Structure 1
Amino acid sequence: MDEATEFAIYLLSAPDGRTFDEVLNALREVGVERLVDPSRMHRHVLGFVQLRLATSADKELRLHHWPAGVSFSEEPHTHLWDLTSYVLGGEISSTEYAVRPTSSESPHRLFVVKPAEAGTVREPTSRQVTVSVVKSESHDAGSIYFVKHGVYHTSEPSSESALTLITTSAPMSDYPLVVASPQSSRSGHAPMTPPTIHEIDEFRRALWQAIE
């Protein structure tokens, strides 16, 4: 068993999560070069670069990097599971929304996100909704924040770039939902594309800065 796998098992084995210092010390113990494996990385449809460290039947462990110089614009969406985010670098703005059905004409509609070959596919529903902000918080490096499954939220960097470590619980619903316009450019199939060499280098550099 390699050190990166041991690290992932260590983090996933905690029933109530780890403290920020425990996560940081575990990352230092393994080291950047053992963690950054390009074969497990892809560019997410939302723009950040994702590294899947481990996936089990009931949990997942990932690193997310929002590189500098890239524009990010998330749409309110839910997750299948409870999410814990450790902000390793930069600053993240996390916003939660109230999404309610409406019989009136609305520019917002619910979409279902389903797995597809080498990515996901976003399928429109007939459900029109209204959207309003419930709360918005900013989390800087050294912070931990939580998002419950089924809660509509967005997470975006409020700094030039950002790096987070994500742990998830077991899935609690069938598919995530997204609130978007029927004309959204993200409708349909969204492939998971490999990161560029520059994105991998930026990812590695951000991780070095976070744990040095």
Structure 2
Amino acid sequence: MINVNFSTDVYNGAAASTDFGSSQFWNKTFSRSGESITNLKNSDGDGSTVSFVYDPDGVGTMSHSESAFYTGTNPADDNLMGSYMYYTGAHPLDHMTFGGLVAGENYELYIYTQSENNVEIPEQLIFRVNDGSYVTSTANNGKTGTFTPGLNYVLGTYSANSSGQLVIDYAATGTSNRVVINGLQLRGPATPEPASLVLLGIGGLLGARRLKKKSGKTSVPAV
């Protein structure tokens, strides 16, 4: 699991995905001009080959009184949902990209999107991944203090392209011309550690040797 938080605050919760425990590492970034980040850390703090690039219109933070999560069931979640990067306008679409993925493999993508609780016009996200079908969140007035699917986060499964990327095009839709993104989570196929690969290789050789001895054949069967 790769977690990205658009904030200067440290967040170590699980957000809506608890499969990796209630305490997780989040890569934090908060740049008005965007950033290209390499070797993101996994949710357990170990390194990875995954990269992330984004280029927003700007970033923003909420006061405690403006964040529904500060007075929600878990105020610590305000460190994720109380800040954001934003994009203004429906067209052209803005972009952010995860790279260093396994081409053709499926990844679960969580996109968190909730603005201040005093916005005059509810905000709504529209996005697509790798030029696929568009997905639209429910219009959000910023007043929900719990993680609610479809409203303040959207979850989908997408295949990495031939370059090992998930290219996310996004914009505002509905009656508001602004949309915010508080953070993202990316869950993909497990990759064995180098030591595990060595053990798998030894296990395969031992298995092949047993088959060879049992059959009396001189060739090693394919595995």
Same fold (TM over 0.5): no
- Relative to the length of structure 1, the TM-score reads 0.26
- Relative to the length of structure 2, the TM-score reads 0.25
- Structure with the bigger RCO (C-alpha within 8 Å, sep 6+) is 1
The answer to which structure has the higher strand fraction is 1
Larger radius of gyration: 2
